[in-house]
Amino acid sequence: MNKALILIILVLQSFNSFSQTYWRVENEYGDEILLTIDLNKEKKTFEAYSRKDALKDLAGVFTYALAKAAGKLKYPEIVFIEGKTREKNDSLLLNGNFNYFDKQFLFTGSISGSHFDGLYKDNRFRQHQLTGEKVFDNKSVRDYTSIINTAFSLTEKHIVNPAWLKSDEWLDFKKKVNELKVKTADDYELAAIFFWLGKKLPFTSYEINRIRPENKPNGRKNSAAVREIKSNIAIFDGNNFPANQKEMDSIALIISKKDYSKLVIDLRGNSRLSPLSVNILTNYLSEKAFNGGVYLTRKWFDSNNTIPKAQDYQKLFKGFSEASYQPGVLFKEQGRSLYIAPTGKTFKGKVYVLADSKTSKAAEAMTYALKQEKIAIIVGQKTAGMTVLTESLRINNEFDLLLPNSDFYTIEGKNLNKVGVEPDISLPADEVMTYIMKL
C-alpha cells in the first residue's frame, strides 16, 4: 500500500514539473508565430516551438530525413527555441538558441504573467524583437485557407504569362499548397510554404507578405551622384542612379570636367533600379544605338502564343525613356523595349559593372545588355536570375501577393529567369573593390 502511494506521489510530482502553454508572438515586422512553450520546472529548461512537424510536412518525410541525416536540419518544426530558465522576481527568464530552418541564433527572453518578450541576433548581429501574449489553445492564427485561395485566384488573373500555370511545376506546387493550407498555423509557416515550394516554380518573385506600413519620404531621399574613389575612377553608388535626363546631363558634365577614364556602375544587391534609369544611363554609356531586350506583360501573352522577334521591337513597343512611360502601370501595355539611343554625350572611358547574386530585375537586364554589347566588363558574381518586374496585389487588409507582372527577354529571345548573367571576371565579394582600386 505504501509503495503504491509513493508511486502515485512520484507520478504527480513528475506531471507537475512540466507545464505547457500557447502563445501568439509577433516579430518587429508584424509577422506572427503560434508558439507552444513547454517548461520543465525541475530541470529548469524550456522548449518553444511552432506547429509540430510542420517542416517535415513541408519538405516531405524522405527529404526531411535526408536533410536531418546530413546535419542540415535539426528539428521538424519551422521555429524551435530551447534553453535554460531562471526566476527573477515575478518573471521567468529564458536563455538559449533560436532555430529557424537550418539557422541557429542566440536567444534571450522572459515570461511575465501572460506577456512574452524575446530577442535574437542574426548572423549580421541585427537584433530581432519578439513580443506576444498567452492564448487559450493552439488554433491557427488566422484563416490561411481563405488567404491562399484568394492568392491563387489573383495569380490566375494577373500573372504575366498564363502558360506558366499549365506547367507540371505549377500544378505540383498548387496541389501541395492546397494540402498544407488546412494545417497552416501561423504567418511564418505560410511564408515558408511559398518560399520552400516556390523554388521549383518556372518563375520567380512569388510571395505572400504581411502588409507593412511604409514611411514614404517627400520626394527622393537621394539624388543621383557619382563618387570619386581615385583620381581617374568614378563610381555610381547603391541606388543613386539618374531618374531623368536632366540628372544624367548634370552627372555627365561632372564626369567630363573631372576627366575620369573609368566609370564603375555598382549593381550589387540592386533590385530597385527602374527600367527608365537603366535606359537613361545606358544611353550615356553606349556609342551606338541598339535594342537591349523587351519587357512583355500579360496583355501580350493574352493575345500571342510566342514572343516577338527582335526586329519588331521598335515597331510594336515604345521605349522606357519616352515621355509617355509611367512607372507602375506597365501592365496596362503589351510591353516596352529597352531601346538604347546615344545622346551625344557618351562616356569615352572604360566601364565596369559590379554584380552579385542579389543583382536582379532591371539591374540584371542592364548587366546582360552591357555585357552582350561589350560596353562594360562585369566583375563579381553571377546575378540572381530574377529579371521579372513585380507588383503587389491586395489579398485582404493584412496580406499582399507579390507576383511577376512583366517578363524580360533578350534580343536573342532568351529568358534569364533562374539563369542569371555570368561575370567576365569572377571574384569573391570581399575582393571586388580591391580589384577596382588596383585598376
Cα–Cα distance for residue pair 91/115, rounded to 1 Å: 10
C-alpha cell at 177: 499548397
C-alpha cell at 41: 520546472
Q: How many CA atoms lie within 13 A of 184 on its CB side?
A: 24
- Report how far apart the first and last C-alpha atoms of the chain are (Å, whole number): 90
The three-point CA angle 123-124-127 to 5° equals 90
Cα–Cα distance for residue pair 155/175, rounded to 1 Å: 15
**pLDDT (tens digit, 9 = 90+) per residue, 191-248?**
999 999 999 998 989 999 998 765 444 444 556 678 888 888 889 876 678 888 888 9
**Residue of 397, 408, 328, 300 lying closest to 362 (CA atoms):** 408
- Predicted pLDDT of residue 3: 55
**Residue of 343, 342, 308, 336 lying closest to 322 (CA atoms):** 336
The residues, ordered by sequence, that sit 6+ positions from 290 with a Cβ below 8 Å of its Cβ are 339, 340, 373
Pair 189, 160: CB distance under 8 Å: no
- Predicted pLDDT of residue 222: 55
Rg, the chain, Cα only: 27
- Predicted pLDDT of residue 136: 93
What torsion, rounded to 10 degrees, do the Cα atoms 301, 148, 400, 407 define? -20
Q: How far is CA 264 from the centre of its chain?
A: 26
Cα–Cα distance for residue pair 97/106, rounded to 1 Å: 5
- Predicted pLDDT of residue 264: 93
pTM of the model: 0.84
3-class DSSP string for 236-265: ECCCCCCCCHHHHHHHHHHHHHHCCCEEEE
- Predicted pLDDT of residue 18: 65
Cα–Cα distance for residue pair 10/344, rounded to 1 Å: 90
Q: Could you count the other beta carbons within 10 Å of the beta carbon of residue 38?
A: 14
Residue with cell 530551447: 82
Buried residues in 248-285 as b, exposed as e (16+ CB within 10 A): beebbeebeeeebebbbbbbbbbbebbbbbbbbbbbbb
For 259-375, where are the alpha helices, taking DSSP H only? Answer: 275-285, 298-303, 313-316, 362-372
- Predicted pLDDT of residue 215: 43
Q: Could you count the other beta carbons within 10 Å of the beta carbon of residue 12?
A: 10
Q: What are phi and psi of 328, to 5 degrees?
A: 90, -10
Q: Which amino acid is at 382?
A: K
Which residue ranges of the chain lie beneath pLDDT 70?
Answer: 1-18, 213-224, 238-239
- Predicted pLDDT of residue 219: 45
**Residue of 436, 438, 380 lying closest to 227 (CA atoms):** 436
Q: Are strands 262-266 and 290-297 parallel, antiparallel or unpaired?
A: unpaired
3-class DSSP string for 15-61: HHCEEEEEEEEEECCCCEEEEEEEEECCCCEEEEECCCCHHHHHHCH
